[in-house]
Structure 1
Amino acid sequence: MRLPEIAKLGHVALVTPDLEKSLWFFRDVIGLEITEQVGDTVYLRAWGDFEHHSLSLTAGGTGYVDHIGWRTKQPEDVEGFAELIEKTGTNVEWVEAGTEAGQGRAIRFKLPSQHTFEIYYDVEKPEVEEKRRSLLKNQSYKSWNRGVSPRRFDHVNIHTSTDASLTYKFLEEQLGFKMREFLRDDDHNTLAGWMSVTPLVHDVAVLAKPQAPTPARLHHISYWSDNMQDILRAADILCENNIDFIGPGKHGISQAMYLYVMDPGSGCRVELFSGGYLIFEPDWEPIEWTMAERSLGNTYWGDSVQDKPENNITIEAK
């Protein structure tokens, strides 16, 4: 019997107390394109994203993540995951088509970490009006049209004050994620895991944070650019807009170049990301990092994320 499979990370649904400021940041500074606005929710995507949206912004009282969405490989996989997840005793909520603009019927459930995941297959891939459409038939929008202009949505990084080992196990056994790199403490507990369902080093990173104020937190969402020069260009754009940031630097884990910047409307951190490596080996052995190697894993070179107190800021995920 074939098991259901997740194809890719789809989107993050972000709630913001200042929709106008968040929209300015993501549209004009980061350079995402607006797909559609429905009431108090704006749907956006990068110029290389094909789905209806990779980010939604909804007006609310505080900044938090409502859910993280994942697309399956086949339509029947949504039902398949519902059955598998319900067998673990986890409550599964069905979300009817159209509840989220551009998306078909989906399921939502909570990880052991208490983050809400959404799984769907049916999704619109809207046509782009001529003035914004790329001449390239294999690309949605004109590149470099505005702001930083990243190509695509890349990954999410989540933190939890719960027993993170339960979430690693759930992601592996129920959702089909593979551990690619991980950090262990001196007692051999896994403190951080970089996991994926694609050849990326991570579609999601899960970090144990016992001191977190609530069980489920978001550290950052990430958008990917074609090369490292794009990240340096992003630093110039952020400076011109008087926005503070961390980086540029290069991670040892993932080998990618990074820059971190905070959405001033919601408090959501965005990692602008480039480089890294892909995994094609079917017998890949997860890379272990020790506490003695943690600094190198976090920052191979550059502006260290660990030396900045603002790096500890996370927003709630529900």
Structure 2
Amino acid sequence: MAPPLGDIAHIGHVELLTPDLDASVRFFTEYLGLTENGRSGDSVYLRTWDDYEHHSLTLTAHTTSGIRRTALRASSEEALQRRVKEIESAGGQGRWVEDEPGIGPLYVTTDPDGHEIALYWESEWYQAPEHLKPGLKNQPQAKPGHGVGVRRLDHVNFLASDVAPNGDFIRDALGARPTEQIQLNTGKIAAQWLTFSNKSYDIVYTEDWTGSNGRLHHIAFATDTREDILRAADLAIDTGVFIETGPHKHAIQQTFFLYVYEPGGNRIELCNPLTRLVLAPDWPLVTWTEDERKKGQAWGLKTIESFHTHGTPPVC
């Protein structure tokens, strides 16, 4: 397998929709420990403590839940233009906007399933106010003294009516490489994990059993340690946060995880994948069979039914 093109540096931020903005903001600030960094209209901008940019997450009031935008930072202005050219030469369409604080021009397009993908280069580096300044100059913000204290936005898992063409888009148009996938007995690809860097994955596509387009499975925030996830589970039961499943360990990608729902209905994963990197430039795509997946997670825990049926926005 060829190494990644390197034109996309990392996931920058995502925008989630929520029918209960105030409760969602409390979840992300009080439970997860994100910091509010501005408001505009119906949107609130939040950041993790180890993010160098203006925001990691935008919460926008809406009649329903789901994901509106996933923004990816390019590795240079030239890289951004190359990706735009690649998208449009393949028949894709997009538009240029400047509608986010701390971010320059964004090229907004969609994957084949209809998820909004935005590419950008220009970004304002965060300057912590006095009460949030860290003790170490190579850290953008002091660690929070409350909540889980998640470190960074880690990955996005999209639901898709057909996984393969979406994975192809992320690979061919944006330069990612797939690292693992699930292939059913019919030959159909049911899920695929892709990376832009030496992380084991940044973007995931999972088959939407409803056949719908453009929905979200979950977004994930990384913690420093596995113990942080155990603490997150304790905090969840103390504060009334709904735990869907975990703590446990995935077989695919070996991520230690906890899944919870935020008040707007979106699934949030707390994960600790920090020790697993894909350093080999010729990493072979790991394919899991249908029978292998029936064995459940790494230590035998069966995948619960809602993991395959819950997505946002809900399907009536």
TM range (shorter): over 0.9
What is the DSSP-based 3-state SS (H/G/I as helix, E as strand, rest coil) of the residue aligned with 1:237? helix
- Aligned partners of 1:154 and 1:223 also within 8 Å: yes
- Aligned partners of 2:18 and 2:24 also within 8 Å: yes
What is the DSSP-based 3-state SS (H/G/I as helix, E as strand, rest coil) of the residue aligned with 2:277? coil
* Aligned twin of 1:116: 116
Counterpart Cα distance in 2 of 1:165 and 1:109: 18
Partner letter of residue 294 of structure 2?
S
Partner letter of residue 242 of structure 1?
G
Is residue 127 of structure 2 the alignment partner of residue 127 of structure 1?
Answer: yes
Counterpart Cα distance in 2 of 1:109 and 1:220: 20
Matches within 5 A, 1:22-61: 22-61=24-63
What is the DSSP-based 3-state SS (H/G/I as helix, E as strand, rest coil) of the residue aligned with 2:44? strand
Matches within 5 A, 1:202-217: 202-212=201-211, 214-217=212-215
* Aligned twin of 1:312: 309
What is the DSSP-based 3-state SS (H/G/I as helix, E as strand, rest coil) of the residue aligned with 2:228? helix
* Aligned twin of 1:269: 267
* Aligned twin of 2:145: 145
- Aligned partners of 2:194 and 2:202 also within 8 Å: yes
Cα 1:243–1:303 change in 2 (3 A) is farther
Is residue 228 of structure 2 the alignment partner of residue 230 of structure 1?
Answer: yes
* Aligned twin of 1:94: 96
Partner letter of residue 159 of structure 2?
H
Unaligned runs of 5+ in 1: none
1:133, CA displacement in angstroms?
1.6
* Aligned twin of 1:83: 85
Unaligned runs of 5+ in 2: none
- Give 1:244's match in structure 2, choosing from 239, 242, 245: 242
Partner letter of residue 103 of structure 2?
Q
Q: Report sequence identity in percent.
A: 35
User: How many residues were matched structurally?
Assistant: 308
1:166, CA displacement in angstroms?
1.2
Counterpart Cα distance in 2 of 1:286 and 1:316: 31
Counterpart Cα distance in 2 of 1:16 and 1:107: 24
1:82, CA displacement in angstroms?
1.7
Counterpart Cα distance in 2 of 1:159 and 1:35: 29
* Aligned twin of 2:74: 72
Counterpart Cα distance in 2 of 1:151 and 1:160: 28
* Aligned twin of 1:6: 8
Cα deviation digits, residues 83-118 of structure 1 (max 9, x gap)? 21111221111113xx11111001011111111100
- Aligned partners of 1:4 and 1:80 also within 8 Å: no
Partner letter of residue 91 of structure 2?
G
Could you tell which deviates more after superposition, 72-81 or 243-252? 72-81
* Aligned twin of 2:106: 106
Alpha-carbon RMSD: 1.7
TM-score with structure 2 setting the length: 0.93
Matches within 5 A, 1:152-163: 152-161=152-161, 163=162
Cα 1:40–1:211 change in 2 (3 A) is closer
Is residue 177 of structure 2 the alignment partner of residue 178 of structure 1?
Answer: yes
Cα deviation digits, residues 104-147 of structure 1 (max 9, x gap)? 00101111111110000111122111111211111122224220
- Aligned partners of 1:94 and 1:107 also within 8 Å: yes
- Aligned partners of 2:64 and 2:313 also within 8 Å: no
Cα deviation digits, residues 41-100 of structure 1 (max 9, x gap)? 11111111111111001112221211100000001222222221111221111113xx11
Counterpart Cα distance in 2 of 1:29 and 1:108: 31
Counterpart Cα distance in 1 of 2:240 and 2:6: 46
1:201, CA displacement in angstroms?
1.4
Is residue 253 of structure 2 the alignment partner of residue 254 of structure 1?
Answer: yes
Counterpart Cα distance in 2 of 1:52 and 1:81: 23
TM-score with structure 1 setting the length: 0.92
Counterpart Cα distance in 2 of 1:46 and 1:302: 32
Partner letter of residue 76 of structure 1?
E
Counterpart Cα distance in 2 of 1:105 and 1:172: 23
- Aligned partners of 1:51 and 1:123 also within 8 Å: yes
What is the DSSP-based 3-state SS (H/G/I as helix, E as strand, rest coil) of the residue aligned with 1:22? helix
1:4, CA displacement in angstroms?
7.2
Counterpart Cα distance in 2 of 1:124 and 1:36: 14
Partner letter of residue 270 of structure 1?
I
